[in-house]
Structure 1
Amino acid sequence: MEHEFSWTQQWYPLSPISYLDPAEPTPVNLLGKKVVIWRDNNQNLVVMDE
């Protein structure tokens, strides 16, 4: 059975860590979708739809 490739069902790198602003969320656009990346109080990276 052959599966069709789905661009939206894959993992993608969003940004080098050095590009992220530690003081505020960093906006990123990936495949036309707007997301923001930031570190929470435990220094974990969080990504959410903008």
Structure 2
Amino acid sequence: MRWNDLELFENGRKTAEKMRMSEALKNFNQKNDEYYKFLTIYSNKRG
């Protein structure tokens, strides 16, 4: 393996991790949104 092959591999791995992180964040935020919508609807029904 040549040096810049290794470098490319590292960069690719970092990029993939960033993408995975932002995917996870998006999913997390989406779940949070649904949860808050549920809470608002629920509290509106009670109030």
Q: Classify the TM-score, shorter chain.
A: under 0.3
Q: Is the strand fraction higher in 1 or 2?
A: 1
TM-score normalized with structure 2 length: 0.21
Which has the greater radius of gyration? 2
